[in-house]
Structure 1
């Protein structure tokens, strides 16, 4: 069994537990648990002075996913929990790392390699926190992550119980000739490998994560770009979990739009439909961002069906707004929205987002409805989408 050994004992300069330092609304310990899951760890052992509410909450969440979580206080408890054939992943208290970087050096053919990651003596990280990145020899320091056989730690029972468990475990691994792998970081190592010890480092890591995870805003589609910015702001405050709520709000607004249009208020109803599209766009962006950061979230196919659902509700609103006068016009919204999808697929990467900006389209059509030219607006937008598609197809054939 793969087991992760974590800790929630060390404190920041302000006296707070380093493991509870928040990044994107989640404590550093939660990020470590997520990393352990990516390494295939089925059990978490956390050293702490007391099982505080935040740790208990993480325990409930991890156990709810089928894993084991133990909050312990001493090395003797640790020895009692470990099995000799366990593979142990040890992560320094408050260390937040880029999972893909750590995985690239520690996982081979889906299995954990037994190794101690090292940094060069004199590097920025080791100079800033020498006590955390413990020196191994004249040229190397511990990088804060090690994987080893749990059997090595059975000797902790013979060592002083008041000693630093991580430091003693590192020494036991070295005595057992566990291999060492040098870790080569980028120009800004704190963006991928940092201790949650100060606000500046956390802010830099947040920016790095969001730059990678957020869908790139393209201002040819202004409302999805605005939604992307809002998702970034929500992520920094830890509100990405509201994504499902925004999907529900989008659905309620889309249905409300149909009712309002049916009552004879076409412009207002289509305005509400455009707002539903904005909430839907926020949901998709937030879900994709959460998936990129945490490895969780809905699959792309679900987002596609969600878009189809919102478009179908928008088509119903548009059909009702046309009042079936003449009845042939009832098919116009179907053709127009269908052409939007076709134009998005055939457009260049710069232009394609425009045809996906349903908030902009519905807001434009709401203005058209207010001036009594809704059918003309639909025909014009559909014609533009058709010209776009034909132009790209003709250009590709040439």
Structure 2
């Protein structure tokens, strides 16, 4: 895997806010530059340089917070300084000043061999950076060799750093990578207006929620998360608060099920999954990968324990062990299927789908039937995953 470095430009003022850099405008519960750095880190970038014209207290604060995420960050004022900081064999992922994009788009560009430039047709370039030729504009991301920075460093400092990097890459014959239509729909573009940026933030948050493609997520959890995330971000709700609320609802759900109340217990379990699911994305967005992972693991644990407790309740009510055996089979099948090294299909069973499937049957007093259907779903998913892994091998 190539050594990856990041170059973020933060030189332009925000529109209508004198003295405020566009890079320090609020975005997704943080500043825009922190969000950009978050995407770079998720794409595997271990070193970043921030190119500035001047340093503001807000920028210093943002860079300080980025550095706390175990990423090396340096502020530079010229191509010469940037070239000196970045390893000469590194592949540099360049992000334009004021760019809003998604982790999917940045992952794709980080995987491109240098030199590559993300482009968009001029007719669709409302959010682009600058024109490359008669028909194409730069869409704000490029993957370049460190040599390009050295070439810019050899030029007079009077040249605009960002524009010159782009021109040097074009002259070197950099490949053009077309901006996908899906990226535009997800809010990709350059923006320096605070109000418009807030709208783009909602688009990106929605795209983040849409990355979960399982049937339960697509038809139930994602619509709820798409509504919740912007509300949580707008109200500046800390990531830990959502985690605590989800964890508390989960514990209350298990206690309620343990006391023999399946309907309210499963409703609370479903509420817990909703909160933990939204909280996981919120934690990831704010760079807290550990808490995001903990909440995902919490969903798995809750699904296992709630299914087993529901099986015990149903077995006690029926006077035989069939419901509990069904719960055991379902949990075991889901657990094994998660470890099969294949890409899950949208219809596959998951921890979230198990809780969603069991809840209505618990409300109707048909827990055994719900366990039977959930187990059948898990077993069929496991069989399909194993078969897919055989073909893959």
TM-score when normalising by structure 2: 0.67
Cα deviation for residue 61 of structure 1 reads: 4.7
1:181 and 2:176 are equivalent in the alignment: yes
Distance in 1 (CA, whole Å) between partners of 2:170 and 2:222 is 47
1:140 corresponds, among 114, 121, 136, to: 136
Q: Report what 2:306 is aligned to.
A: 310
Counterpart contact for 2:9–2:97, Cα < 8 Å: yes
Q: Report what 1:234 is aligned to.
A: 228
Taking structure 1 as reference, are residues 84 and 61 closer, same or farther at Cα in structure 2, changes over 3 Å only?
A: closer
Counterpart contact for 2:79–2:150, Cα < 8 Å: no
Cα deviation for residue 45 of structure 1 reads: 0.7
Counterpart contact for 1:19–1:196, Cα < 8 Å: no
Q: Report what 2:368 is aligned to.
A: 382
For 1:1-398, what aligned pairs fall within 5 Å after superposition?
Answer: 1-15=3-17, 17-48=21-52, 49-50=54-55, 52-53=57-58, 56-57=61-62, 59-65=64-70, 67-101=71-105, 103-104=107-108, 107-108=111-112, 112-120=113-121, 122-125=122-125, 128=126, 133-157=129-153, 159-161=155-157, 163-175=159-171, 177-186=172-181, 189-191=184-186, 193-197=188-192, 198=196, 199-213=198-212, 225=220, 228-236=222-230, 237-238=232-233, 241-242=239-240, 244-254=243-253, 256-257=255-256, 261=259, 273-283=265-275, 285-286=277-278, 297-298=292-293, 303-313=299-309, 318=313, 329=319, 334=324, 337=327, 356-364=356-364, 377=365, 380-382=366-368, 386=372
Counterpart contact for 1:94–1:196, Cα < 8 Å: yes
1:289-308, Cα deviation, whole Å (9 max, x unpaired): 56998996449777434311
Q: Report what 1:367 is aligned to.
A: none
1:241-273, Cα deviation, whole Å (9 max, x unpaired): 3553244213431454378x4xxxx66xx5663
Distance in 2 (CA, whole Å) between partners of 1:155 and 1:349 is 51
Counterpart contact for 2:117–2:174, Cα < 8 Å: yes
Counterpart contact for 2:40–2:106, Cα < 8 Å: no
Distance in 2 (CA, whole Å) between partners of 1:195 and 1:343 is 46
Cα deviation for residue 31 of structure 1 reads: 3.4
SS at match of 1:64: coil
SS at match of 1:278: helix
Specify the structure having the higher radius of gyration (Cα).
1
Moved more, 328-337 or 23-32: 328-337
1:103-143, Cα deviation, whole Å (9 max, x unpaired): 546635xxx322233333x3221xx35xx622333443323
Distance in 2 (CA, whole Å) between partners of 1:363 and 1:118 is 52
Cα deviation for residue 174 of structure 1 reads: 3.8
Taking structure 1 as reference, are residues 178 and 356 closer, same or farther at Cα in structure 2, changes over 3 Å only?
A: same
Cα deviation for residue 89 of structure 1 reads: 1.7
SS at match of 2:180: coil
Counterpart contact for 1:342–1:389, Cα < 8 Å: no
1:311-365, Cα deviation, whole Å (9 max, x unpaired): 345567x48xx9x8x9x848576357558869999xx96999587444445555x
Taking structure 1 as reference, are residues 165 and 335 closer, same or farther at Cα in structure 2, changes over 3 Å only?
A: same
Question: Which stretches in structure 2 are left out of the alignment for 5+ residues?
Answer: 336-345, 380-393
Taking structure 1 as reference, are residues 212 and 40 closer, same or farther at Cα in structure 2, changes over 3 Å only?
A: closer
Taking structure 1 as reference, are residues 149 and 60 closer, same or farther at Cα in structure 2, changes over 3 Å only?
A: same
Counterpart contact for 2:98–2:191, Cα < 8 Å: yes
Distance in 2 (CA, whole Å) between partners of 1:25 and 1:388 is 37
Taking structure 1 as reference, are residues 342 and 240 closer, same or farther at Cα in structure 2, changes over 3 Å only?
A: farther
TM-score when normalising by structure 1: 0.66
Counterpart contact for 1:335–1:382, Cα < 8 Å: no
Cα deviation for residue 4 of structure 1 reads: 0.8
Distance in 2 (CA, whole Å) between partners of 1:388 and 1:74 is 60
Counterpart contact for 2:250–2:302, Cα < 8 Å: no
Cα deviation for residue 183 of structure 1 reads: 1.6
Taking structure 1 as reference, are residues 187 and 63 closer, same or farther at Cα in structure 2, changes over 3 Å only?
A: closer
